[in-house]
Amino acid sequence: MTHSGLINDVKDGVVFYDVDTKEGQSGSPVYMKDNPKMVIGIHKAGAMAVKMNFATLTSKEMMDQLRKWSMEMNPPFKVASKPK
pLDDT over 70 (residue 1) = no
Give the percent of the chain with pLDDT over 70.
85
pTM exceeds 0.75: no
pLDDT in tens, 55-78: 999 888 988 888 888 888 776 655
Higher pLDDT, 72 or 79: 72
CATH value of 6-71 in 2.60.120.10, 3.40.50.920, 2.40.10.10, 3.40.50.11810: 2.40.10.10
Backbone angles phi, psi at 56, to 5 degrees: -75, 125
> What is the structure's pLDDT at 50?
74
Task: State the pLDDT confidence band at 45, using cuts at 50, 70 and 90.
Answer: confident
> Are 7 and 17 contacting, i.e. CB atoms less than 8 angstroms apart?
yes
DSSP helix/strand/coil, 17: strand
> What is the structure's pLDDT at 25?
78
